[in-house]
Amino acid sequence: MFRLATIAAAVFLAVPAWAQINVRLDLERDRYLLFESMVATVEIQNYSAGPVQLVDQESAPWLKFEITRNTGERIGIVGSGFLGGTVTLEPGQTLAKSINLVAYYQIREPGRYRIRALAKIGNLGSAFASREQTVDVVAGRQMFNKSAGFKDESGTEGLRNYVLLEVQLGRQVWLYARVEDQGGNIYGVIPLGEWVTFSAPKADTDKDGNFHTLHQAQPRHFRYSIISPKAGVLKRQSLSNYNSLPNLTRSEDGQVKVIGGESMDRSPRLPQSTKTP
């Protein structure tokens, strides 16, 4: 069963006895596809008798994450890290921040990662940390790979490589689309929804360089997605096969569309957690 992974607070450095600061780290799941967004939500709670200040100092953020691999390797920050500005927390107040760790840290290889959040309280000169959480980052299994040319808004031509991947998340198998260029730069990893593995997914690119996918999510439920060369989601559609079977088709002029099926107008939801009891 999926359940939210909630991490209780712990004091990182010695602080005055009156300073009651709790830091809590929440991650949606404990298993992610490589380069998928990994959103961490951090809550800082001020239970002390006076206000506390959270201040970025000389481009050094007050909120950091300590991330290490099972090998002991420390994961570095991309650029200056997450800058949260100046925040004052009055007694009893709680501040929540959500950060995509993949955007700010060099999580670039499959493996197991240990993560904890560190919040520095400026007027106390002390740091507080959440308890550590462990996540697995997996490469997934490649099912489809195709390159397509496109033109951007200025008319400049480019080339994108689209990869369709499957990954096990708890008891579910999910499909993802990865968008990259020929140099290996990743523009995005987009979840397409759960997949019924006895039905082969279909994928193709159109004349504008967009990526179309159609797969079966449940016994009578199909999902159709269109992904742009910039890794934007242009369309998500849920279809049934009650009266006709949906099928992905390509015309002679390079247009790709779904023929058949009936719209269900429901969007996929990511699983909340793959934590086991």
Query: Residue 130, Cα to own-chain centre: how many angstroms?
Result: 21
User: Of 142, 143, 167, 156, which Cα lies nearest the Cα of 230?
Assistant: 156
**Residue 14 confidence class, pLDDT cut points 50, 70, 90:** very low
What does the angle CA 127 – CA 92 – CA 7 come to, to the nearest 5 degrees? Answer: 55
pLDDT digits (tens, 9 = 90+) for 212-251: 999 999 998 999 999 999 999 999 999 999 999 999 999 9
Q: What is the pLDDT of residue 184?
A: 86
Q: How many CB atoms lie within 10 A of CB 180?
A: 18
pLDDT of residue 131: 94
Residue type, 181: D
**pLDDT class for 45, splitting at 50, 70, 90?**
very high
Indicate the pLDDT class of residue 19, thresholds 50, 70 and 90: low
15 pLDDT more than 70: no
Cα 247–Cα 265–Cα 250 angle in degrees, nearest 5: 25
Give every CB contact of residue 265 below 8 A, 6+ residues apart in sequence: 237, 238
Give me 201's structure tokens.
């997914």
Predicted confidence (pLDDT) per residue in 84-96, tens digit: 788 898 999 999 9
Ranges of CATH 2.60.40.2970 domains, the chain: 5-137
Determine the CATH number of domain 5-137: 2.60.40.2970
Predicted model pTM:
0.81
Is the confidence at residue 119, as pLDDT, over 70?
yes
What pLDDT, on a 0 to 100 scale, did the predictor assign at position 52? Answer: 87
Residue 6 is predicted with a pLDDT of 42
Closest alpha carbon to 177 in 225, 117, 209: 225
Per-residue confidence at 12, pLDDT binned at 50, 70, 90?
very low
The encoded tokens of residue 64 equal 């950091």
Residues in a beta bridge with 161:
147, 180
Question: In this model, does residue 3 exceed pLDDT 60?
Answer: no
pLDDT above 90 as % of the chain = 66
| pLDDT of 255 | 94
